[in-house]
Amino acid sequence: MSLHIYDTSTRAIREFVPVEAGRASIYLCGATVQAPPHIGHIRSGVNFDVLRRWMTRSGYDVTFCRNVTDIDDKIIRVAAQESVPWFVVAERNQRAFTWAYDTLGCLPPTVEPRATGHVPEMITLMQRLIDRGHAYASGGDVYFGVQSYADRYGSLSNQKLDNMRAAADTDDESCKRDPRDFALWKGEKPGEPTWPTPWGPGRPGWHLECSAMATKYLGPTFDIHGGGIDLIFPHHENEIAQSQAAGDGFARYWMHNGMLKIGAEKMSKSLGNSLLIPEMVQKVRPVELRYYLAAPHYRSSIDYSEEALLEAAAAYQRIEGFVTRAAEVIHDVDAHAPLPQAFVDALNDDLGTPQALAVVHEVVREGNVALSRGDKEAVARLLAETQNMLDVLGLDPRSPQWRGAGSDLAPVVDALVAVALEQRKAARARKDYEAADAIRDQLAAAGITVEDTPHGARWELSR
């Protein structure tokens, strides 16, 4: 079975057939950086990181574009409240998002464009829309006329134009031909940043930004557009309208991840229930938080509770325990061992991570049995299968990302700890237990836990 994904635009599971054979292009709506990220924001990053990893493992050359909305009404409001320039708010929170993505093991995007760096492309797109009769300038603003696209507007969100409310994206609705028309460009206002255009100075509208950036880096027609389900309307609906009205094919598949909630409420800053990433990684390790976010199906909603978070952490630790014990017996793991077919089928079936992780846990159970029997051949095979599956999910506990120091410093940490453990071993051999305990205590003070096993001392970062 080849990769099949649920396409929001057709409301059906479709076989993935790329625009260009052997290549896959993905655009993910990234952060609007008016505030630091909570786990609801980063869930999207984790879900689409798994998709990207799986497509790469499946043989595709993946171009992954994740944008940054660094100019927006919300950013301007926060800046005014703090009495700082808008770019201070944007830069501060952009760095917080980058740290959060990195901390949870998301691979860096192929390209990460910022909206403010792509105003020329936005001006070109607006001119194309005006020339085709789909947009108009009015009072310093530029609007998309939804009546010009009436036969298709609402297809993604499955709505009819007659039932839609006003766009409510401008202070003066009298500038619009139709209250449902949405702003492509907003004329200058006192204290706001501006860029020059043929229709007057101002700043871009949110929807325009993504269409301009997606097509610049992925072409007029590309494979997958992703984001949270809350973006279907109006953001993604408007992206489709302005892009296709301008003559671009735009995205061929639309993928949307579910929301993360607390009780019946969507997690948001305004509700005061946001769980920020720095706080979350004090409750569990980053890899355990990634497991928690990746384990449910990407289209499902997650009702957050600390109990569920700790259960996910315990589940990951069972996997990690097998990998750690098996690696003490098997030192060379076959990185090219085939993946279990059930795991492949699960991910090919609309990125079914719950079923894929069920396969991981089953292999781990078999591996623990093989360890207890002393069957090294079976342990080697099952360890290779487990690590290869975890690598696809970004969860391999033996990868440099999760061994504690990042890819550059992990070998250094390994070497330093190895020296300390050799000194401890020598102290124990000469029955100098006081010195051995002192070395262990020094490592503990540095955040490293040492456990003595039949195969020698084992270390890990303190939980």
Q: How confident is the model at residue 168 (pLDDT cuts 50, 70, 90)?
A: confident
Least confident piece of the model among 161-175, 333-347, 354-368: 161-175
Is the pLDDT assigned to residue 173 strictly greater than 70? Answer: yes
In the prediction, which pLDDT does 271 show? 56
In the prediction, which pLDDT does 30 show? 95
Range of 64's domain? 21-114+258-304
The DSSP string of 298-357 is: TTS-EE--HHHHHHHHHHHHHHHHHHHHHHHH--S--TTPPPPHHHHHHHHBT--HHHHH
Is the pLDDT assigned to residue 269 strictly greater than 70? Answer: no
Give the pLDDT mean for 12-34: 97
Residue with tokens 């696809």: 392
Is residue 280, in this structure, part of any structural domain at all? yes
pTM (two decimals): 0.89
Is the pLDDT assigned to residue 454 strictly greater than 70? Answer: no
In the prediction, which pLDDT does 429 show? 79
Is the pLDDT assigned to residue 415 strictly greater than 50? Answer: yes
Higher pLDDT, 406 or 349: 349
To 10 degrees, the CA torsion angle through 460, 461, 462, 463?
Answer: -100
H helices of 258-299, in order, are 277-283, 286-294
Is the pLDDT assigned to residue 25 strictly greater than 50? Answer: yes
Q: Are residues 32 and 110 in the same domain?
A: yes
Is residue 443, in this structure, part of any structural domain at all? yes
Angle at CA of residue 115, ends 111 and 121, nearest 5°: 90
Q: What percent of the chain has pLDDT over 70?
A: 92
Is the pLDDT assigned to residue 241 strictly greater than 90? Answer: yes
Is residue 144, in this structure, part of any structural domain at all? no
Q: Are residues 397 and 309 in the same domain?
A: yes
Sign of CA dihedral 405, 56, 235, 254: negative
Nearest to 392 by CA among 420, 351, 440: 351
- Give the C-alpha separation, 250 to 450, whole Å: 54
- What per-residue string of b and e applies to 346-359 under the rule 16 or more CB within 10 Å gives b? bbbbbbbbeebbeb
Q: Are residues 30 and 110 in the same domain?
A: yes
In the prediction, which pLDDT does 368 show? 98
Q: Which amino acid is at 425?
A: K
Is the pLDDT assigned to residue 403 strictly greater than 90? Answer: no
Q: How confident is the model at residue 425 (pLDDT cuts 50, 70, 90)?
A: confident
Number of domains into which the chain is organized: 3
Higher pLDDT, 133 or 162: 133
Both structure tokens of 73: 């009404």
Is residue 423, in this structure, part of any structural domain at all? yes
In the prediction, which pLDDT does 263 show? 79
Q: How confident is the model at residue 272 (pLDDT cuts 50, 70, 90)?
A: low
In the prediction, which pLDDT does 406 show? 44
Is the pLDDT assigned to residue 436 strictly greater than 80? Answer: no
Is residue 222, in this structure, part of any structural domain at all? no
Domain limit, last residue, from 269, 304, 339: 304
At 305-317, the pLDDT tens digits run: 999 999 999 999 9
Higher pLDDT, 139 or 55: 55
Is the pLDDT assigned to residue 449 strictly greater than 60? Answer: yes
- Averaged pLDDT score across all residues of the chain: 92
- Give the C-alpha separation, 62 to 404, whole Å: 28
Q: How confident is the model at residue 461 (pLDDT cuts 50, 70, 90)?
A: low
In the prediction, which pLDDT does 318 show? 98
Is residue 415, in this structure, part of any structural domain at all? yes
Is the pLDDT assigned to residue 157 strictly greater than 80? Answer: yes
Higher pLDDT, 262 or 342: 342
Which residues, in sequence order, are CB contacts of 85 under 8 Å at separation 6+?
Answer: 79
Is residue 10, in this structure, part of any structural domain at all? no
Q: Are residues 335 and 299 in the same domain?
A: no
Q: How confident is the model at residue 58 (pLDDT cuts 50, 70, 90)?
A: very high
H helices of 86-236, in order, are 86-103, 119-131, 206-218
Is residue 135, in this structure, part of any structural domain at all? no
Say if residues 439 and 427 touch (Cβ distance below 8 Å).
yes
In the prediction, which pLDDT does 427 show? 73
Where residue 294 sits, what CATH number does that domain have? 3.40.50.620
At 363-391, the pLDDT tens digits run: 999 999 999 999 999 999 999 999 999 99
In the prediction, which pLDDT does 268 show? 66
Q: Are residues 379 and 427 in the same domain?
A: no
Domain limit, last residue, from 249, 273, 304: 304
To 10 degrees, the CA torsion angle through 107, 111, 113, 118?
Answer: -170
At 318-337, the pLDDT tens digits run: 999 999 999 999 988 888 88
- What Å distances lie between residue 393 and 16, 327, 345, 384, 457, CA to CA? 20, 19, 14, 14, 29
What distance, in Å, lies between the first and last C-alpha atoms of the chain?
40
Is the pLDDT assigned to residue 407 strictly greater than 50? Answer: no
Higher pLDDT, 337 or 82: 82
Q: Are residues 456 and 370 in the same domain?
A: no
What 3-state DSSP class applies to 197? coil
Which residues share a beta bridge with 202?
Answer: 187, 195
